[in-house]
Amino acid sequence: MGRDQAAAAAAAAAVVHEKVKLFIGVLALQFLLAGFHIVSRAALNMGISKLVFIVYRNLISLALLAPFAYFLEKKDRPPLTLSLLVEFFLLALLGITANQGFYLLGLYHLSPTYASAIQNTVPAITFVMAAVLRLEQVDLSRRHGVAKVVGTVVSIGGATVITLYKGLPLFHHNLNIESLSSSSLILNWTLGCVFILGHCLSWSGWMVLQVPVLKRYPARLSVLSLTCIFGLLQFLVIAAFTEEDLSRWKVNSGGELFTILYAGLVASGVAFALQIWCIDRGGPLFTAVFQPVQTVAVAVMAAIILGDQLYTGGIIGAVLIVIGLYFVLWGKSEEKKSKNTQGHSVQAGGDDITRRLLGQEDASRKDEEAAVTDELA
């Protein structure tokens, strides 16, 4: 009897220990990704070319990813066909060229805090795309269906508020309000929001497009590697016409080198590995619930490190986006419970979309072994 109690106590302690590790891991993930927002903005402030920053980041990412893809997926890679190469090209166009390009263009005009806040609309946008393509079910007769629709509307409404209404500055009331509300600054704010929304749309489109591609080419690391290669080629073509000055490709300081290494090694390497681990241990829902922590961390870091200002319109919009995010997540959770209760298996296409809608798809054991690879955000 005593042994049984001791075994039960040991098992309970192990569960608590695992939950603590998972909690620390998911918080660390959000802070690492928050750091990427700050580092990217710092790179722009230093005058690094947006194209140069993206090319170097993806070169580092590819160097990390390619060896794992080559050695771990030798037996899983189907033969490449012309149609697959076209699909990889389109994945790169959405997931790297448009995604990362729009992000840096938006960040150039906008605070990292609001860029991070608007990113919380990605699950809602992905849901809309998946529903239009019939990869996601919308059952308005059930609570979870209504919750997903309401969450989508609220999230997009919050993004609209951030885009169209800047509001008054917080904390620094001695600033000249009229100068802050000048037409040029309002235009830059709106333009930045539009670019970040373009980033979110392309990110969502990339996740939706992966579903049919991964069905035909079920080697995730190889898909990411090929996508990265095509993305690099696309950016190099763009750079050939826009970055003819070779001096722009030179890294001029330790600060510039740090921002590039952080983006390539930490954001695309360590953070991606940690994300795989968190999703594998806690599931996509658990990981996605902590996503707004990233926005809060960015706001604090940006205020301390960059001296960024917060505005009422941005705060209102960010709160609406987070509320909408949790509506969508709750709807997905209830939908999954309902399907499990009814004993119906989730369709493969919808399951893939659900996983991506909540962040990344669940990591297989093979993904876990290769957990120093890349993600596009």
pLDDT at residue number 312: 85
- Is 4 inside a domain boundary? no
Q: What is the DSSP letter of 249?
A: G
Look up the domain containing 259 and give its range: 18-369
pLDDT at residue number 37: 94
- Contact at 8 Å (CB) between 370 and 72? yes
pLDDT at residue number 60: 93
Average pLDDT over residues 54-81: 90
* pLDDT, tens digit, 9 for 90 and up, residues 11-60: 777 777 778 888 898 899 999 999 999 999 999 999 999 999 999 999 99
Tell which residue, 290, 373, 339, has the closest CA to residue 145.
339
Average pLDDT over residues 276-280: 78
- Contact at 8 Å (CB) between 323 and 252? no
Q: What is the token pair recorded at 38?
A: 């700050």
Q: Which residues pair with 311 in a beta bridge?
A: 169
Q: What is the token pair recorded at 225?
A: 């590697």
Q: Environment class of residue 71 by beta-carbon count within 10 Å: exposed (0-12), middle (13-18) or buried (19+)?
A: exposed
- Is 69 inside a domain boundary? yes
Is the confidence at residue 353, as pLDDT, over 80?
no
How many domains in the chain? 1
- Per-residue confidence band for 343, with pLDDT thresholds at 50, 70 and 90: low
pLDDT at residue number 286: 72
pLDDT at residue number 75: 84
pLDDT at residue number 326: 87
pLDDT > 90: percent of the chain: 30
What is the C-alpha separation between 29 and 15, in angstroms, rounded?
21
Per the listing, tokens 């891991």 go with 25
Average pLDDT over residues 80-94: 94
Is the confidence at residue 377, as pLDDT, over 60?
no
- Contact at 8 Å (CB) between 127 and 304? no
- Is 124 inside a domain boundary? yes
* pLDDT, tens digit, 9 for 90 and up, residues 107-162: 999 889 889 999 988 888 888 888 888 777 777 888 888 888 898 899 889 888 88
Q: Model-level pTM?
A: 0.79
What is the C-alpha separation between 213 and 194, in angstroms, rounded?
28
- Is 212 inside a domain boundary? yes
